[in-house]
Structure 1
Amino acid sequence: MSDVAGISAVGPRRVVTVSPDFLLASAALAALIFVPVLRAHGALLFLAAGTALCARYWQRSIVSCLRHWYLLLLPCFCLLSFAWSQYPAQSFRYGLQLLATVIIAVVIAMRLSPKMFGRLLFVFFGIAMIASILFGEVRGDTGAWLGIYGSKNALAGAAATFIVIAASQILDGSAPYGYRLLAVFGGLIGCVLLLLAQSVSAMAVVPPAILIQLGLLLYYRMSSAERFVSVSGLTLLGLLLAILIATNFSALEALMLETTGKDATLTGRTDLWDVALRFIRERPFLGMGYQAFWVHGHAPAEALWAYFGIDGRSGFNFHNTYLSNAVEIGILGVGLQIFVLYGAAILTCVWAVTSHRAEAALMFVMVVIVIIISFVEVPIFFQFSLRSVLIICAFVYGVEGVRANGRWR
C-alpha cells in the first residue's frame, strides 16, 4: 500500500504533494458515483482513469492482481460463460467489462489507504447530495425527490449510503474536529434527502448500519470481560429474537406489508422468483450465460417486460441477487459470488474487531448493507458498478487489514 497524498515541510513553507495514483483513483471513484449524470461518459471515465492507474507501475498492478487472484475467478467465470451462453457476444462483452472493473477495483484498493478511500466517498457523495438539492428533479405525482439520479429509489439508496459514510467520519477519532463537524452537516443533508425520497426500504437500512458502527465503537472501549459478557448477551438476545420471529411470523409479515404498503407478493417479487426458479431448474449449474437473459428479442424476457409494464425494456431483474444470478451463471457462479460477498463481510468484521479503526467499521457496514439489499434487489456483480467496486475493495482491505493485524494507517 502506498501513500497517495502527504504534506511535507520545506523550510518555513508547507508543500502539499499529491500523487498521480491518488488523482487517478479519485477520478475512477468519482466517475462511478456520478454515472447517473454522466451515463456512458461515466463508464468511459472510470475505464480511462482505471486503466491509467493500472498502467502506472504496471508491475505492481500485476503483483496486486496475483496477490488477490481469487477475486478474478468470478469475472473470469462470467467471461467464459460465452461458451454456453444463449447470446455469446453479449456474455463475452459484459464479462470482459466486469473483469476490467474488478481488476481496477483491486488496484485502487492497493493504491489508496482505506481511510483515504472512505474520505473520498464522503466528499464525492457529498457533492452528489448537494447537486441533488440544487439541480435535482421532483416527481410531479407523489412529490418524491429524484435528485440527479432520476429515480427516488436511487436517490434514497445514495442518501442512505452517504449517511452511513458520514457517521463513520464523525466517529473517526483520528479525524480533525472541523472535518468531523462537516460530516455532521453532511449526515443531516443525507437524512433530509432520504426523507424527501420517500423510500421506506432505504430508510430501514440506515438504523442497523448506524447501530453496528456505534456498537463497534463501544466494543473498542470495553475490557475483555465486558466484551465477553456483551457478546454473550447479544447472542442470547439474537436467538430470542429469532425464536419470536419464527413463532409470530404471520403476524409480523402482515404488519410489515401494512407498514410498507406492499401486497403479499411484495409488488410482484414472489411471482418473479417463481419464474427465476423455473429457469434455474432448466440449467442449474452453468445458467444461460452472463447477462444473457434480459436481452431484447429473448421471448421470456420480453414476456416479463410486457407483463410488468416495463416499456423501456431495461433496468429490470428478478429482484434477488442469488436467484437472478443463478439464472445467468448457475449455481457455480453464485457460489463464487457468495464467496466474494460473504468473504468480504467476514474479513472486514474480523478486521474491524481487531484493528479498532473507523475505516474498518465502515467497510464492514457497507458490506452488510449490500447483503441486506441482495435479498430483494440485484445491487452488485455487474460492470461499472460502484457497489461492486466497494465489495471488491472491502475484500482487499479486509485481507490486508487482517494480515497486517491492525497496523494499517
Structure 2
Amino acid sequence: MNTATDQLGASRPANIFDNIDPLVVRLLIVMSITFSLLPPGFNWGNTAAQGSYVEGSLIFQMEFGSVFLIGAWLAWRNRGWSLRHVQHLNPPLIAIILYCLITILWSPYPVVTLKRSIQLIGLTLVGIAISPPIGGKQQLIRTMLGTLMTLMACSFVVALVLPRIGVDYELGGAWRGILMQKNALGAISGLCVVLWIKESLGTTFPRSICYFGILFSLFILVMAKSSTAILVAALGTGIYLLVRRRYLTGEFDGRKLTISVAVVILLGFHIFYVINGRLPEWSELFSPFTALFNKSTDLTGRTDIWRLVLLEVDRHPVFGIGYGAFWLGEGSPSQTIISALHWIPLQAHNGYLDILNELGIIGLVIMAGVFVFHIRNLIKLTRIDREEAAIHWAMLILILISNLSESEVFRGVLFQNIFFIYSSTAISARLTLHRMEQAELAKQSENTLPGAAS
C-alpha cells in the first residue's frame, strides 16, 4: 500500500477484521451480478424480463436490500475513503440521481419513483464501497469474470440435465440455462470471450486456462443462438485490442480516436447527402448490419414502440413523466401503447428514449453529461494505466451501443447499469489515488531539495 493510502487508512484503527474487506468486496460483486442476471426471486417458472421489478416481490427486495446494506456497512467501515470518493465522483451521476428523486413531485406513481431512485443510490453506494483501495484495481473485472463463468457452467449443466428449464424450444432450441432468456446467456458469454482474451495477454492465468475459457465461452455463445451477442463479442474484442495497443500515439490519443470516428461518420453523411439530396433513413443505416445477422431493419418491431413512445414524450417533453413511472403494465401510463400493440412491453427497447420519456430533456442532457464526464475520466486513466482503461473503454462503447436497442442504463438493477455505475465509481477512485500519489511524490521531492531543512 502506498504512502497516500496509508495516510487516510490510518484514520480508522486497525482490528482483526481488516482482512475481511477484500472478501466483502468480492461478495458484493458476486451478489450484484448474480441477482441481476438470474430470474427475479429465483422463479424459473416465470422468466419474463423485468417482470417482478414492477411487482416489487419480497424476495427481490431482500436480494438487493442485502446488497445495499452490506455495501453501506463497508462504506461506513472505510468512511474516510468513502467521503473522499464522494467528493470526486462523476458530478452528473450525482445530478441525475438527485433529479430522479425530484421527479417524485410530479410522478403519477411517486412510491415507484422513490423505489427506483433508491436503487440508483444503493448501487452508487456499493460502487463507492468496492472502489480502490478497498477493492483492487482488477478486482471488479476478475470477480465479474469468475461469476459469469460460474453462471455459464451452471447453465451448461442445466441445459443438458433439465432442458425444460435451460432450453428455449420456441426459439429453435436456443440455450438460456439458468438465466432469464437466451439473449442474456449470449451476452455474458460474449463478454467472457473479451475478458478471457484480456487475461490471455497477461500473466495472471496460465495460457491453457485462458484458451479453455475462450473456447467454452464461444461454445455457450453458439448454443445461445444470439446474433447480437456474437456482434458484441467481435466488437468488444476489437475495441479492447485497439485501445490496449498504442496504434494512435501522442498525449491526446483518446481524443484523436474520438475525433477520427466522428469525422468519418460526418463525412459519410455528407457524401450521402450530396449524392441523394437527403439524409439516410433508419433502414438504410442499419440494413448492412441487419442483413449480416438476418434481422429486419425495423429491429424486430422496436421502431413501432419508438414511434408510440415519442408521442408520449410530446406530453411532457421538458421534465418527463417521472422516473420509472411509465412501464408499469396494464392500467399504467403505458396503457395506450399496450392497446396499440396488443401486448405488454416493459421498456421502449431504447434506453435514451426511455430516459427522455421519464426524465424529459433535462434528464437526457444530464445523462449525456454522465457519459461525457466518464469518457473524460477514461481518457485520463488511459494515460495512467492503458491496460485497465482498455477493458472499461470496450465495456462503455458496448453499453452505449446496446442501449440503442435495449433499455438498461439507469434502469434499476440490470446488469449493464450495475457495471456502468461500478465502473464509473472505480475509475473516479483510481484517479483520486493517482492524484494523491503524485502530490505525495511532489512533497517528498520538495523535502529533498537542498536547503529544504533550513
Normalising by structure 1, report the TM-score: 0.82
Amino acid aligned to 1:37: L
Amino acid aligned to 1:26: R
Larger deviation, residues 92-101 vs 146-155: 92-101
Amino acid aligned to 1:31: M
The answer for the alignment partner of 2:26 in structure 1 is: 26
Contact 2:322 2:358 in 1 (8 A): yes
Does residue 400 of structure 2 align to residue 371 of structure 1? yes
- Match of 1:282, SS state, is coil
Equivalences for residues 262-301 of structure 1 within 5 A: 262-301=295-334
Q: Distance in 1 between matches of 2:397 and 2:429?
A: 19
Q: CA deviation at 1:282?
A: 1.4
Contact 2:176 2:185 in 1 (8 A): yes
Match 2:230 to one of 203, 206, 213:
203
The answer for the alignment partner of 1:68 in structure 2 is: 89
Q: Distance in 2 between matches of 1:79 and 1:263?
A: 38
Normalising by structure 2, report the TM-score: 0.75
Q: Distance in 2 between matches of 1:237 and 1:74?
A: 28
Q: CA deviation at 1:153?
A: 0.9
Q: Alpha carbons of 1:407 and 1:262: their partners in 2 closer, same or farther (altered >3 Å)?
A: farther
Larger deviation, residues 264-273 vs 143-152: 264-273
Q: Distance in 2 between matches of 1:67 and 1:244?
A: 39
Contact 1:269 1:318 in 2 (8 A): yes
Q: Alpha carbons of 1:237 and 1:34: their partners in 2 closer, same or farther (altered >3 Å)?
A: closer
Moved over 6 A (4+): 230-238, 405-408
Q: Distance in 1 between matches of 2:263 and 2:436?
A: 31
Q: Distance in 2 between matches of 1:161 and 1:279?
A: 35
**What runs of 5+ residues in structure 2 fail to find an aligned partner?**
4-16, 41-59, 160-165, 439-454
Equivalences for residues 192-271 of structure 1 within 5 A: 192-219=219-246, 239=263, 243-244=267-268, 247=272, 253-271=286-304
Does residue 419 of structure 2 align to residue 390 of structure 1? yes
Contact 1:163 1:187 in 2 (8 A): yes
Percent of paired sites with the same residue: 22
Structure with larger Rg: 2
Q: CA deviation at 1:329?
A: 1.1
Q: Distance in 1 between matches of 2:437 and 2:234?
A: 30
The answer for the alignment partner of 1:37 in structure 2 is: 38
How many pairs align? 385
Q: Alpha carbons of 1:394 and 1:139: their partners in 2 closer, same or farther (altered >3 Å)?
A: same
Larger RCO of the pair (alpha carbons < 8 Å, separation 6+): 2
Match 2:350 to one of 302, 320, 325:
320
Q: CA deviation at 1:305?
A: 3.6
**What runs of 5+ residues in structure 1 fail to find an aligned partner?**
4-16
Q: Alpha carbons of 1:186 and 1:49: their partners in 2 closer, same or farther (altered >3 Å)?
A: farther
- Match of 1:291, SS state, is coil
Q: Alpha carbons of 1:124 and 1:190: their partners in 2 closer, same or farther (altered >3 Å)?
A: same
Amino acid aligned to 1:386: F
Q: Distance in 1 between matches of 2:112 and 2:256?
A: 50
Q: Distance in 2 between matches of 1:42 and 1:139?
A: 26
- Match of 2:108, SS state, is coil
Does residue 76 of structure 2 align to residue 55 of structure 1? yes
The answer for the alignment partner of 1:14 in structure 2 is: none
Match 1:99 to one of 108, 112, 121:
121
The answer for the alignment partner of 2:151 in structure 1 is: 128
Aligned-residue CA RMSD in angstroms?
Answer: 3.3
Match 2:375 to one of 341, 345, 348:
345
- Match of 2:417, SS state, is helix
- Match of 1:287, SS state, is coil
Contact 1:28 1:45 in 2 (8 A): no
Q: Distance in 1 between matches of 2:304 and 2:23?
A: 46
- Match of 1:109, SS state, is coil
Contact 2:76 2:82 in 1 (8 A): yes
Q: Distance in 1 between matches of 2:22 and 2:205?
A: 24
Amino acid aligned to 2:186: A
Match 1:118 to one of 141, 146, 171:
141
Q: Distance in 2 between matches of 1:325 and 1:80?
A: 14
Q: Alpha carbons of 1:278 and 1:303: their partners in 2 closer, same or farther (altered >3 Å)?
A: closer
- Match of 1:290, SS state, is coil
Q: CA deviation at 1:323?
A: 0.8
Q: Distance in 1 between matches of 2:96 and 2:67?
A: 20
